[in-house]
Amino acid sequence: MKSNMTQITRNDVLKLAKLSNIKLRDEEVDKFVVELDAIVNYVEQIDSVKIDDLKPTDQVTGLENVTRPDEVIKYDSTGEELLKNLPNKDGKYIKVKRVL
């Protein structure tokens, strides 16, 4: 539990951007330091709530472990249609930049 207001720093933003796979430009970093700091401080209002030993909610209608039969469903699209949105391709392959 944090007792004091958190301060988001330039390093925090750079780290978050890296974890988020976003390469921010310098001017963006400065802006986000201010904005993310304001947002984090705003949401810290929930610190005032006593949480006792209540359970966290991640599903509101009480569903658990929903499964369906593993059946083949007919799909009308052709392979070509599925590949039409590829930004870079080589024949039927997705073409990406070098990995290493």
Q: Which long-range contacts (CB under 8 A, 24 or more apart) does 10-15 make?
A: 12/36
Distance, CA of 28 to CA of 31 (rounded, Å): 5
Q: Which is nearer to another protein, 21 or 92 (CB)?
A: 21
Shortest distance in whole angstroms from residue 53 CB to another protein: 9
Shortest distance in whole angstroms from residue 59 CB to another protein: 7
Q: Which is nearer to another protein, 45 or 92 (CB)?
A: 45
Angle value at C-alpha 39, between 38 and 40, nearest 5 degrees: 95
Distance, CA of 24 to CA of 18 (rounded, Å): 9
Contacting residues toward another protein, per CB under 8 A: 1-2, 12-13, 16-17, 19-25, 28, 31-32, 35-36, 38-40, 42-49, 51, 54-61, 63, 66, 68, 75, 77, 81-82, 84-88, 94, 96-100
Helices 10-19, 26-43: crossing angle, 10 deg rounding = 100
Shortest distance in whole angstroms from residue 33 CB to another protein: 11
